[in-house]
Amino acid sequence: AGAVNVQVMVSVDLALWRHLGEALPALPSWAQRGNTWAPAVAQIGDRFVLYYTVREPARQRQCISVATALAPQGPFVDERQSPLIYQLDHGGSIDPCPFVDDGGGLYLLWKSDDNAIGRASSVWGQQLEADGQSLAGSPVRLLGYDQAWEDPLIEGPSLVVADGTYY
Distance CA 142, CA 79 (A): 29
The answer, yes or no, to whether residue 67 has pLDDT greater than 90, is yes
Q: What was the pLDDT predicted at 25?
A: 95
- Residue 92's DSSP bridge partners are 62
For residue 3, what pLDDT band results from cuts at 50, 70 and 90?
A: confident
For residue 1, what pLDDT band results from cuts at 50, 70 and 90?
A: low
Q: In this structure, what DSSP letter does residue 115 have?
A: G
- Residue 69's DSSP bridge partners are 48
Distance CA 95, CA 19 (A): 23
Dihedral-angle region of residue 80 (phi above 0 means left; psi in -120 to 50 means alpha; beta otherwise): beta
pLDDT digits (tens, 9 = 90+) for 100-151: 988 889 999 999 999 999 999 999 999 999 999 999 999 999 999 888 888 7
Strands lying side by side in the sheet with 106-112: 93-100, 106-112, 123-128, 135-143
Q: What was the pLDDT predicted at 152?
A: 77
Contact criterion met (CB below 8 Å) for 109 and 142? yes
Report the first-to-last Cα separation within the chain, whole angstroms: 31
Averaged confidence pLDDT in the chain? 93
